[in-house]
Structure 1
Protein backbone atom coordinates (compact mmCIF):
# COMPACT_ATOMS: atom_id res chain seq x y z
CA UNK A 1 0.00 0.00 0.00
CA UNK A 2 1.38 3.40 -0.90
CA UNK A 3 1.46 6.05 1.77
CA UNK A 4 0.13 9.35 0.47
CA UNK A 5 2.51 12.18 1.29
CA UNK A 6 1.06 15.63 0.87
CA UNK A 7 3.07 18.73 0.11
CA UNK A 8 1.89 22.18 1.18
CA UNK A 9 -0.32 23.64 -1.53
CA UNK A 10 -0.86 20.28 -3.22
CA UNK A 11 -3.59 20.22 -5.85
CA UNK A 12 -4.92 16.91 -4.50
CA UNK A 13 -6.66 18.31 -1.45
CA UNK A 14 -9.01 15.32 -1.14
CA UNK A 15 -6.08 13.01 -0.34
CA UNK A 16 -5.15 15.20 2.62
CA UNK A 17 -8.36 14.24 4.41
CA UNK A 18 -8.04 10.50 3.76
CA UNK A 19 -7.95 8.32 6.81
CA UNK A 20 -5.85 5.28 7.57
CA UNK A 21 -9.01 3.12 7.31
CA UNK A 22 -9.22 4.00 3.61
CA UNK A 23 -5.62 2.98 2.86
CA UNK A 24 -4.77 0.13 5.24
CA UNK A 25 -4.30 -3.49 4.24
CA UNK A 26 -6.36 -6.11 6.03
CA UNK A 27 -4.71 -7.48 9.15
CA UNK A 28 -3.30 -10.60 7.49
CA UNK A 29 -1.39 -13.14 9.56
CA UNK A 30 -1.34 -12.58 13.30
CA UNK A 31 0.96 -14.61 15.51
CA UNK A 32 1.43 -14.99 19.26
CA UNK A 33 4.39 -13.44 21.03
CA UNK A 34 5.55 -16.84 22.32
CA UNK A 35 6.23 -18.04 18.73
CA UNK A 36 9.89 -18.58 17.85
CA UNK A 37 11.67 -16.53 15.22
CA UNK A 38 12.08 -19.64 13.04
CA UNK A 39 8.36 -20.43 13.08
CA UNK A 40 7.51 -16.77 12.43
CA UNK A 41 9.80 -16.74 9.39
CA UNK A 42 8.08 -19.89 8.15
CA UNK A 43 4.62 -18.34 8.62
CA UNK A 44 5.80 -15.21 6.84
CA UNK A 45 7.12 -17.24 3.88
CA UNK A 46 3.92 -19.28 3.66
CA UNK A 47 1.75 -16.15 3.76
CA UNK A 48 4.04 -14.34 1.30
CA UNK A 49 4.11 -11.23 3.43
CA UNK A 50 6.84 -8.84 4.62
CA UNK A 51 5.44 -8.43 8.14
CA UNK A 52 3.42 -10.15 10.86
CA UNK A 53 1.25 -8.65 13.56
CA UNK A 54 2.20 -9.97 17.00
CA UNK A 55 -0.48 -10.51 19.66
CA UNK A 56 -0.30 -11.28 23.36
CA UNK A 57 -2.09 -14.13 25.14
CA UNK A 58 -5.29 -12.02 25.29
CA UNK A 59 -5.29 -11.51 21.51
CA UNK A 60 -4.33 -7.84 21.68
CA UNK A 61 -1.85 -6.46 19.17
CA UNK A 62 1.49 -5.70 20.81
CA UNK A 63 3.58 -4.98 17.75
CA UNK A 64 4.70 -5.85 14.28
CA UNK A 65 7.77 -7.73 13.08
CA UNK A 66 9.26 -7.48 9.63
CA UNK A 67 11.15 -10.06 7.62
CA UNK A 68 14.22 -7.82 7.73
CA UNK A 69 14.10 -7.65 11.56
CA UNK A 70 13.68 -11.42 11.93
CA UNK A 71 16.49 -12.13 9.47
CA UNK A 72 18.79 -9.75 11.35
CA UNK A 73 17.99 -11.46 14.65
CA UNK A 74 18.66 -14.89 13.13
CA UNK A 75 22.03 -13.71 11.82
CA UNK A 76 23.06 -12.31 15.23
CA UNK A 77 25.73 -14.00 17.33
CA UNK A 78 23.36 -14.46 20.31
CA UNK A 79 20.70 -16.24 18.23
CA UNK A 80 19.34 -19.67 19.10
CA UNK A 81 16.30 -21.50 17.79
CA UNK A 82 14.60 -20.81 21.14
CA UNK A 83 14.42 -17.00 20.67
CA UNK A 84 10.78 -15.94 20.81
CA UNK A 85 9.11 -12.90 19.29
CA UNK A 86 8.49 -11.44 22.77
CA UNK A 87 12.27 -11.47 23.28
CA UNK A 88 12.88 -9.16 20.30
CA UNK A 89 9.84 -6.85 20.27
CA UNK A 90 11.06 -4.25 22.73
CA UNK A 91 8.64 -1.42 23.52
CA UNK A 92 5.06 -1.58 22.30
CA UNK A 93 4.17 0.45 19.27
CA UNK A 94 3.97 2.61 17.39
CA UNK A 95 0.32 2.00 16.50
CA UNK A 96 -2.31 4.02 14.71
CA UNK A 97 -6.09 4.29 14.69
CA UNK A 98 -8.24 3.82 11.60
CA UNK A 99 -9.46 7.39 12.17
CA UNK A 100 -5.98 8.90 11.94
CA UNK A 101 -5.41 11.00 8.82
CA UNK A 102 -2.87 9.83 6.30
CA UNK A 103 -0.85 12.99 6.93
CA UNK A 104 -0.66 12.22 10.66
CA UNK A 105 0.23 8.59 10.00
CA UNK A 106 2.95 9.64 7.56
CA UNK A 107 4.44 11.96 10.16
CA UNK A 108 4.34 9.17 12.77
CA UNK A 109 6.05 6.72 10.40
CA UNK A 110 8.81 9.19 9.51
CA UNK A 111 9.34 10.10 13.18
CA UNK A 112 9.41 6.43 14.27
CA UNK A 113 11.52 5.29 11.29
CA UNK A 114 9.11 2.48 10.37
CA UNK A 115 7.63 1.45 7.05
CA UNK A 116 4.58 -0.33 8.49
CA UNK A 117 2.17 0.52 11.31
CA UNK A 118 -0.35 -1.78 12.98
CA UNK A 119 -3.84 -0.30 12.86
CA UNK A 120 -5.75 -1.09 16.06
CA UNK A 121 -9.20 -0.37 17.45
CA UNK A 122 -9.89 1.33 20.77
CA UNK A 123 -9.42 -1.98 22.60
CA UNK A 124 -6.04 -2.81 21.03
CA UNK A 125 -7.29 -5.45 18.59
CA UNK A 126 -5.57 -5.48 15.20
CA UNK A 127 -7.64 -4.22 12.28
CA UNK A 128 -4.96 -3.98 9.62
CA UNK A 129 -1.58 -2.62 8.61
CA UNK A 130 -0.62 0.66 6.98
CA UNK A 131 2.54 -0.03 4.99
CA UNK A 132 4.72 1.86 2.57
CA UNK A 133 4.91 0.45 -0.93
CA UNK A 134 7.99 -1.55 -1.57
Structure 2
Protein backbone atom coordinates (compact mmCIF):
# COMPACT_ATOMS: atom_id res chain seq x y z
CA UNK A 1 0.00 0.00 0.00
CA UNK A 2 1.42 3.38 -1.01
CA UNK A 3 0.74 6.50 1.05
CA UNK A 4 -0.45 9.46 -0.97
CA UNK A 5 -0.27 12.98 0.35
CA UNK A 6 -3.66 14.52 -0.39
CA UNK A 7 -2.93 17.95 1.09
CA UNK A 8 0.39 19.41 0.05
CA UNK A 9 2.31 20.99 2.90
CA UNK A 10 3.19 24.63 2.75
CA UNK A 11 6.85 25.20 3.37
CA UNK A 12 7.98 28.34 5.11
CA UNK A 13 10.22 30.47 2.94
CA UNK A 14 12.66 32.95 4.31
CA UNK A 15 12.12 36.47 3.02
CA UNK A 16 14.83 37.64 0.68
CA UNK A 17 16.06 40.99 -0.51
CA UNK A 18 14.26 44.11 0.68
CA UNK A 19 11.56 42.12 2.46
CA UNK A 20 14.12 40.72 4.91
CA UNK A 21 15.35 44.23 5.72
CA UNK A 22 11.90 45.51 6.54
CA UNK A 23 11.42 45.79 10.33
CA UNK A 24 8.58 43.77 11.74
CA UNK A 25 6.17 44.70 14.47
CA UNK A 26 3.34 47.14 15.01
CA UNK A 27 3.78 50.45 13.17
CA UNK A 28 2.56 53.79 14.54
CA UNK A 29 2.74 57.34 13.24
CA UNK A 30 3.89 60.52 14.96
CA UNK A 31 0.41 62.05 15.04
CA UNK A 32 -0.98 59.13 17.07
CA UNK A 33 -1.81 59.93 20.68
CA UNK A 34 0.00 58.30 23.57
CA UNK A 35 -3.22 56.62 24.72
CA UNK A 36 -3.85 55.04 21.32
CA UNK A 37 -0.20 53.94 21.09
CA UNK A 38 -0.48 52.27 24.52
CA UNK A 39 -3.62 50.51 23.35
CA UNK A 40 -1.86 49.26 20.20
CA UNK A 41 1.08 48.11 22.29
CA UNK A 42 -1.21 46.23 24.70
CA UNK A 43 -3.21 44.53 21.96
CA UNK A 44 -0.13 43.51 19.99
CA UNK A 45 1.73 42.23 23.04
CA UNK A 46 4.91 43.64 21.53
CA UNK A 47 7.79 45.13 23.45
CA UNK A 48 7.95 48.27 21.35
CA UNK A 49 6.28 50.08 18.49
CA UNK A 50 7.96 51.14 15.25
CA UNK A 51 7.55 54.86 14.64
CA UNK A 52 6.98 55.69 10.96
CA UNK A 53 7.00 58.91 8.98
CA UNK A 54 4.34 60.02 6.48
CA UNK A 55 5.95 57.88 3.76
CA UNK A 56 5.78 54.71 5.86
CA UNK A 57 9.53 54.59 6.54
CA UNK A 58 10.50 53.54 10.04
CA UNK A 59 12.33 56.36 11.79
CA UNK A 60 12.50 55.13 15.39
CA UNK A 61 10.91 53.11 18.14
CA UNK A 62 8.86 53.84 21.21
CA UNK A 63 8.66 51.52 24.22
CA UNK A 64 6.09 50.97 26.95
CA UNK A 65 8.44 52.66 29.43
CA UNK A 66 8.62 55.80 27.29
CA UNK A 67 4.84 55.89 26.84
CA UNK A 68 4.24 55.35 30.56
CA UNK A 69 6.75 58.06 31.49
CA UNK A 70 5.04 60.49 29.12
CA UNK A 71 1.63 59.68 30.56
CA UNK A 72 2.94 60.26 34.09
CA UNK A 73 4.50 63.64 33.31
CA UNK A 74 2.98 66.95 34.40
CA UNK A 75 2.72 68.15 30.76
CA UNK A 76 0.62 65.15 29.66
CA UNK A 77 -2.89 65.60 28.28
CA UNK A 78 -5.13 63.13 26.48
CA UNK A 79 -4.13 64.88 23.23
CA UNK A 80 -0.37 64.40 23.64
CA UNK A 81 0.99 62.93 20.43
CA UNK A 82 4.00 60.69 19.91
CA UNK A 83 5.83 63.49 18.08
CA UNK A 84 5.67 65.43 21.36
CA UNK A 85 7.55 62.76 23.32
CA UNK A 86 9.78 60.89 20.84
CA UNK A 87 12.96 62.32 19.38
CA UNK A 88 13.61 60.34 16.24
CA UNK A 89 17.22 59.78 15.28
CA UNK A 90 16.76 58.71 11.67
CA UNK A 91 16.47 55.38 9.93
CA UNK A 92 18.61 53.46 12.44
CA UNK A 93 15.55 52.69 14.59
CA UNK A 94 17.36 53.65 17.78
CA UNK A 95 16.34 56.46 20.07
Q: TM-score, normalised by structure 2?
A: 0.69
**Would you say how many aligned residue pairs link Structure 1 and Structure 2?**
74
Give the deviation of 1:86 after TM superposition. 1.0
Deviations for 1:54-109, whole angstroms, at most 9, x for unmatched residues? 1011111121000000000000011001111111111424716xxxxxxxxxxxxx
**Unaligned segments of structure 2, at least 5 residues:** 1-20
Which residue of 1 is the match for residue 71 of structure 2?
Answer: 74
In the TM superposition, what whole-angstrom CA distance separates every residue of 1:28-54 from its partner, at most 9, and x where no partner exists?
Answer: 101111100000000000000120001
Greater relative CO (CA pairs within 8 A, separation 6+): 1
Task: Decide which moves more: 35-44 or 55-64.
Answer: 55-64
* Greater gyration radius: 2
Q: Gapped runs of 5+ residues in structure 1? A: 1-23, 97-116, 119-134
Bigger strand share: 1
TM-score (ref. length: structure 1) = 0.50
Paired residues of 2:59 and 2:91 also in contact (CA < 8 A): no
Off by >3 Å, runs of 4+ in structure 1: none
For the aligned residue pairs, the C-alpha RMSD in angstroms reads 2.2
